[in-house]
Structure 1
Amino acid sequence: MRKVPVTEAVGMILCHDITKIVPGCEKGRAYQKGQVVTTEDIPKLLDLGKKHIYVWEPEDDLVHEDEAALSLARHAAGPGLYWDQPNQGRVNIRAAREGLLKVQASRLYRANSLEDIVMATLHNNRVVCKEQVVAGTRVIPLAVRRQILEEAEKICSEPGPLLSVKPFQPLWVGIVTTGSEVYSGRIQDGFCSVIKKKIAPFGARLLGQIIVPDDPDVISKEIRMLIADGAGLVMVTGGMSVDPDDVTPAGIRASGAEVVTYGAPSLPGAMFMLAYLGHVPVCGLPGCVMFNNSTIFDLILPRIFAGERISRPEIVALGHGGLCEECEACRYPACSFGKAT
């Protein structure tokens, strides 16, 4: 790569994109890397404020920015991802399917700690749509040292890819609705319709809803029966507070499920309960799920449908970012809610 005056560049190969910016009107690529500079290009380049340009002279120790960005994308992108062609030195990585984005954050930090390496991603555990841009990568100079690029490639690919998109599994879902007031018909249940809307994007199938009184033995029996009938996820609604008549947590424990947590550092959703009966998650849902746009339920649900088993330390980590701002126009998941470091 060599810096030359624009007026002396005729016949030389441009080694970088040149951007044209018209304030308030446009920003785009005026010249593309690899283009041979002609006599007609000289006044145009001067109009763009270019007195000098870089032309390409291959060196064994240097890798051009486009080639480097493509290589970084290829090494970082795992299952469920693909990448675009370079544009002004940047390569975008896109989701090839709907699913749960997984980012190995500690390795991403290591890669970005290398000189001249840039990779930006969406947050880990973000639900993404097919063809959505989930990451972008580039190098800072027009050509990067091969040794640095190879080190970044190693970080991006070992062990396993830096980025991936897990597909959602179409689980059968069972609902146990507790509350003597609902069981007796005094009031109508408000949970089931909300849950149906929440699980629909994941391709879930509703196995059934069972309404029971505030009786731990009955609650536990119905949880076990739903799982025996094929439920891959059981949600128990109502009775999650600490009032004397709220016995849902006791009913979940009585089913034999292993409790991961009762209580979560998330607002709304502090009274959430997560347990596992074998490999089947059992969730105790607090009342806020009926009334708030985004709660702990929205943070946990995608991971369950992606087939992940959630641990207590992962729940604890939600405290950083676990406060929903309850915006007038909800933007979740394009916001900070639940974005633990």
Structure 2
Amino acid sequence: MKIVKKNSAETLGDILAHSIFLKVGRIRKGKIISQEDINLMLQDGIENIYVGVFDNDDLDENYASKKIAEAICVDGVTRSPTYSGKTNITSKYDGLIEIDKEKVFELNRLSTNIAVSTLNNHDIVYNGDHILSVKIISYAINKADLEKIINFLNTNKIIQLKPFKSLKFGIIYTESVNEKKNIIEKTKKSIKSRVSDYNSTIMDEIIVNHDIEAIKLALEKQLTMDIDCVLFFLSSSVADVSDILPSIISELGGKITSYGMPLDPGNLTLSGYINNHKILVAAGSARSDALNGLDWHLNSLHAGIEIDQDIIDSLGVGGLLKDIDFAVRRKRISKNINTKKANIAAIVLSAGESKRMGEDNKLLLKVNGKTIIANYIENISKSNVSEILVVTGHQSDLIQGELEKYDVNFIYNPDYKDGMSTSLRAGINALSANIDAAMICLPDMPLIGIYEINKLIDYYNPKIGNEICIATSNEQRGNPVLWDKKYFNELSDIKGDKGGRHLLSQYEEKSVEVNLGEAVSFDVDTKSSYNSLK
């Protein structure tokens, strides 16, 4: 492909190399130029533009990005629609992602025209989280390069998702003479929180003196129970592999798999097993809620990853955990656990006639085998919203038919032809009484997924003034927008074919912008924008 300067009238089918700003709006770079685009440019006096012209052996960036992403996908992940040469791969489950760093390096070396970016190996991922992105750097890629990349991926898997599974725990605490009495109670509270993050269960708790016989009896008891892992909190951390607890494990026919780890805090964590029971011995620092080497072991254990000393030794780079925000590095896995979260409703405005699309209802067009509206609702239904209202109008029966398997409430707006404000009002008026805030959603945005919805919700915090959360991309505001309930009356009073955007200028001090990336900047309004998706 070459970037050349051409007469605007002669660019039909070429790729726009640089964005152009017209009186009617912007034509984005990377767009395949249509006759309508040419007419608009000529009307504005733009006679020459820079375009990308394909060579005979070039392939479109979206086609190539989609094919590479499909070759990377494994069980438990899914790909987003492809736009602007980029495809995201997201998780379908909560778990750990395994990344083969060397193979990713080798993959990126196959062509200077691709960029595959991933999370770190053994990062926690949640349903809807982005794991990996595939970006074609230019607007096209050489066919031979793409074939080389696909052949490599057909024989080399670079990612694997390990879903978390709930486990049963036995906990043994040891105490020493003159030890503070509240230490064990604080530890119980901390480990209960940690274990519940995985929807796991503490089946038995025993407190014994820090004495070899007492510890051995407690361990023998729990080994007879239906328990997956015995976790120890000792009044005195293991000082050597010849110490009391490692000796007991060996005496009972077990094996030490690791002792000591380059994660700080948590250096003195020990792991092993006896028959089918995993054994974990926490470092003293794990009594705190702060991120610890114990958390790494718990992640691996729940993901079913077998640990050995080689894996442990590889953790040194990035292993300094001090001063890292605990909330960023470890969070709750199940949205149902965090009962203190606000009740957020999603109002999905689906009543419009999509006139710019011609005869087609854009919400009923298909992307990745599903209609645009079904894809959008499926993502929202897996997010942290507690109620979904779908406001219908034009072709209401068809919209409802596409969504009949989802747990949503339909609100028919008979006045939909009078503008978006009527649908907004219908949705606001139908909200349940216990709703704290509502997210106003436009379903013609197929790149908005679970991750984007949840990130917007995470920023909602009226206590610190975050009452309105606005999705942005490159500092440009877009949708969705989340509104606290105190604004519902004003939203209901809006007239005409507009949403709540004009209210934002009145409440800047109560608003927070949330960067959600390119997902915010793309919607399906025209046949050209729909055709740009893969």
Return the alpha-carbon distance in structure 1 between the equivalents of residues 141 and 64 of structure 2. Answer: 7
In the other structure, the counterpart of 2:272 is: 275
In the other structure, the counterpart of 2:189 is: 193
Return the alpha-carbon distance in structure 2 between the equivalents of residues 44 and 90 of structure 1. Answer: 32
In the other structure, the counterpart of 2:361 is: none
Deviation, 1:117, is 2.1
Deviations 1:64-91 (A, max 9, x none): 1111111111111211111111222111
1:213 aligns with 2:212: no
- SS, match of residue 331 in structure 1: helix
For residue 82 of structure 2, the aligned residue among 60, 64, 86 is 86
Return the alpha-carbon distance in structure 2 between the equivalents of residues 46 and 270 of structure 1. Answer: 68
AA aligned opposite 1:288: S
Return the alpha-carbon distance in structure 1 between the equivalents of residues 71 and 182 of structure 2. Answer: 56
AA aligned opposite 2:196: A
1:165 aligns with 2:161: yes
In the other structure, the counterpart of 2:39 is: 40
For residue 61 of structure 2, the aligned residue among 50, 59, 65 is 65
In the other structure, the counterpart of 1:95 is: 91
Instruction: Note the residue ranges of structure 2 that are not aligned, 5 or more in a row.
Output: 332-534
CA 1:328 to 1:131, structure 2 compared with 1: closer, same or farther past 3 Å?
Answer: closer
**Match runs of 1:1-341 below 5 Å:** 5-10=5-10, 12-15=12-15, 19=19, 30=28, 33-38=31-36, 39-42=38-41, 51-55=49-53, 59=56, 61-115=57-111, 116-159=113-156, 161-181=157-177, 186-189=181-184, 190-238=186-234, 239-242=236-239, 247-291=244-288, 293-327=290-324, 331-332=328-329
CA 1:29 to 1:261, structure 2 compared with 1: closer, same or farther past 3 Å?
Answer: farther
- SS, match of residue 102 in structure 1: strand
CA 1:211 to 1:95, structure 2 compared with 1: closer, same or farther past 3 Å?
Answer: same
Q: Assess if the C-alpha contact under 8 Å between 2:78 and 2:91 holds in 1.
A: yes
Return the alpha-carbon distance in structure 2 between the equivalents of residues 200 and 167 of structure 1. Answer: 16
Return the alpha-carbon distance in structure 2 between the equivalents of residues 17 and 251 of structure 1. Answer: 69
Q: Assess if the C-alpha contact under 8 Å between 1:18 and 1:88 holds in 2.
A: no
Relative contact order (alpha carbons < 8 A, sep ≥ 6): 1 or 2 greater?
1
Return the alpha-carbon distance in structure 1 between the equivalents of residues 321 and 271 of structure 2. Answer: 20
Return the alpha-carbon distance in structure 1 between the equivalents of residues 45 and 276 of structure 2. Answer: 66
Return the alpha-carbon distance in structure 1 between the equivalents of residues 17 and 92 of structure 2. Answer: 27
Q: Assess if the C-alpha contact under 8 Å between 2:291 and 2:326 holds in 1.
A: no
Instruction: Note the residue ranges of structure 1 that are not aligned, 5 or more in a row.
Output: 22-27, 335-341
Deviations 1:3-40 (A, max 9, x none): 5545344571244685579xxxxxx9736634514333
CA 1:206 to 1:113, structure 2 compared with 1: closer, same or farther past 3 Å?
Answer: same
Return the alpha-carbon distance in structure 2 between the equivalents of residues 225 and 20 of structure 1. Answer: 74
AA aligned opposite 1:64: D
Q: Assess if the C-alpha contact under 8 Å between 1:94 and 1:133 holds in 2.
A: yes
AA aligned opposite 1:13: G
- Report the number of matched residues: 321
- SS, match of residue 329 in structure 2: coil
What is the alpha-carbon root mean square deviation over aligned residues?
3.1
Return the alpha-carbon distance in structure 1 between the equivalents of residues 279 and 43 of structure 2. Answer: 66
Return the alpha-carbon distance in structure 1 between the equivalents of residues 268 and 201 of structure 2. Answer: 26
**Percent identity among equivalent residues?**
20
CA 1:9 to 1:228, structure 2 compared with 1: closer, same or farther past 3 Å?
Answer: farther
Q: Assess if the C-alpha contact under 8 Å between 2:169 and 2:201 holds in 1.
A: yes
Return the alpha-carbon distance in structure 1 between the equivalents of residues 280 and 326 of structure 2. Answer: 27
